[in-house]
């Protein structure tokens, strides 16, 4: 059975999200995550000088905007430990 690329992407995204939750939930002290997606059409509607496609409509696909930790009181963690900064080069993409 041949799977559609969208199905494979969704499965890969779910696995990646699970791995992020598994690692980050152990290492941090926040209450929950916001998994934020963005639809290009909505973004363009919020900007006066957004460039809509010349033909057709904006894509129907959503993009991942972020996976953000939050506290129940509405606050969110922010660079609390300046000695522990993010280094993109240390992320393993194997």
Contact 80, 52 (CB under 8 A): no
pLDDT for position 73? 92
Query: Taking 80 as the threshold, does the pLDDT of residue 34 lie above it?
Result: yes
- Average pLDDT of span 12-24: 56
Average of pLDDT values for 81-85?
71
pTM, whole model, 2 decimals? 0.42
Of the candidates 34, 23, 36, the one whose C-alpha atom is nearest the C-alpha of residue 75 is: 34
| Closest residue by Cα to residue 58 from 70, 50, 66 | 50
């Amino acid at each position: 059975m041949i799977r559609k690329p969208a199905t494979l992407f969704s499965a890969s995204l779910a696995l990646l999200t699970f791995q992020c939750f598994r690692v980050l939930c152990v290492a941090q002290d926040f209450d929950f995550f916001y998994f934020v997606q963005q639809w290009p059409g909505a973004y363009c509607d919020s900007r006066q000088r957004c460039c809509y496609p010349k033909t057709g409509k904006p894509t129907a696909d959503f993009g991942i905007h972020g996976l953000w930790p939050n506290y129940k009181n509405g606050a969110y963690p922010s660079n609390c430990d300046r000695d522990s900064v993010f280094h993109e080069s240390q992320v393993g993409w194997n």
